[in-house]
Amino acid sequence: HNLEMKHLPGADPELVLLSLRYEELERIPLSDMTREEINQLVQELGFYRKETPDAPVPEEFQFAPAKSLPILLPPQAPAADGRTPPKRDEEEHPDL
């Protein structure tokens, strides 16, 4: 769910992670990975695998993967009043 495969002839395979606003968050090269490693990566990133193509997706996975990836979170700058904004929950996606 929420994973789309596009074949680009001549291009090295990579996983492109996008925000809910379709902004690029990260590119992960897949050339040196096996199918099993790619499946494990996608699962670790929080994507939901449907049992069948027409199976419903549970509500908690509708916007998955909606996890914060530590390498994707920018450092928090102090607010205008000088206070640092509260830290995000590790399970909260930066765009939610």
pLDDT value of position 49 = 86
The pLDDT tens digits along the chain (96 residues) read: 788 888 889 999 999 988 878 888 899 999 999 999 999 999 888 888 888 989 998 888 887 775 444 444 455 555 565 665 555 555 555 554
67: Cα separation from own chain's centroid: 7
Of 75, 59, 63, nearest to 18 (Cα)?
A: 63
Strands 14-18 and 24-29: what pairing? antiparallel
- H, E, C per residue of 44-93: HCCCCCCCCCCCCCCHHHCCCCCCCCCCCCCCCCCCCCCCCCCCCCCCCC
pLDDT value of position 73 = 46
